[in-house]
Amino acid sequence: MKNIHSLWLLPVAAIVSPVYAADYLTVEQAQKAIFADAQSFEARPAKLTSDQQDKIKSLSGLRQRWDTQQIWRAVKNGKTLGWFVVDEVIGKHEFITYAVGLSPDGHVLGVEIMTYRETYGGGVRNAIWRQHLVGKTLADPFKLDEDVPNISGGTLSSRNVMDGVKRVLAIQKVLNLVE
């Protein structure tokens, strides 16, 4: 995540440390939550070229903020169960760290919120809300109050997590991780 955080300008880092933080899941816990049957996870971090970043934006309509994406291959009996991607999006005050599980054919298998630090909008952690993202493909609209409900008081967080999932699907396609 180093290069993710380096996106922030931190001229007054000493005084701006967040006074609150909630880490709900580690990478391992999130992997198990989405791919319960996986026997192992192979780290496959991807270094994205500027051309790939442009394609991601073209497919998802969203800017790819960093050039390294944390990706794991979920494996069972030597076969690919799917892809596990850790990503971050902007929340109301801080980044939201979340994980997306993708099927080999480009469907969302699950979304887990790993770190979240907001007053309202905690609803993105709500399993029922996250369930609306399961099954989505790049062909879906990804519109709040259309195919994904809005979270009152957490509209920016729900919008950015929803958009982030769409961007992760675009990353999968650009990296040819779709079978």
Partner 1 sequence: MKTSHRYVVVALLGLGFYANVASADENLFGYIKGVEVMPKGTYELDEQITYRGDKGVGTYHAWDNKTELEYGVTDKFEAAVYVKAQAINTKNIVVDAYIPGNETYGPKLSGVGAEFKYMFLSPAKDDFGLAGYLDLGYSWLDPHSGLDKDIYSVEAKLLAQKYFMEGQLVWAGNLGIESTYARRAPLSADRQASLPVDYDWPNHNEMEVELSAGTGLSYRFAPNWSIGGEALYEAEYETVVGQERWSVFAGPNIHYGGEKFWVTLTAFHQLKGYGHPGSAQLDDSLQLIERTKDEVRLKVGFDF
Does an H or E element contain 161, and which?
helix 155-174
**Cβ count near 160 (within 10 Å):** 23
Q: Report if residue 120 touches partner 1, rule: CB under 8 A.
A: yes
Footprint of partner 1 on residues 146-165 (CB under 8 A)? 150, 152-153, 155-156, 159-160, 163
Q: How far apart are CA 28 and CA 32, in angstroms?
A: 6
Least gap, CB of 155 to partner 1 (angstroms): 4
Nearer to partner 1, 27 or 90 (CB): 90
Q: Report if residue 88 touches partner 1, rule: CB under 8 A.
A: no
Among 3, 23, 39, 63, binds partner 1 (CB under 8 A): 63
Residue 106 has φ and ψ, to the nearest 5°, of: 85, 35
Q: Which stretch binds partner 1 (CB under 8 A): 13-21, 35-43, 71-79, 168-176?
A: 13-21
Tokens describing residue 130 = 């996250």
Least gap, CB of 24 to partner 1 (angstroms): 15
Which conformational region is residue 69 in: left (phi greater than 0), alpha (psi within -120 to 50 degrees), or beta?
A: beta
Q: Three-state DSSP class for 172?
A: helix
Among 9, 37, 47, 79, binds partner 1 (CB under 8 A): 9
CB 85 within 8 A of CB 103: no
Q: Which stretch binds partner 1 (CB under 8 A): 3-11, 49-57, 97-105, 134-142?
A: 3-11
Q: Report if residue 70 touches partner 1, rule: CB under 8 A.
A: no
Least gap, CB of 64 to partner 1 (angstroms): 12
Q: For residue 105, with 0-12 CB atoms within 10 Å meaning exposed, 13-18 middle and 19 or more buried, which class applies? A: exposed
Least gap, CB of 150 to partner 1 (angstroms): 6
Q: How far apart are CA 83 and CA 103, in angstroms?
A: 6
Query: Contact residues for partner 1 (CB under 8 A)?
Result: 8-13, 16, 18-20, 62-63, 89-90, 92-95, 117-120, 144-145, 150, 152-153, 155-156, 159-160, 163
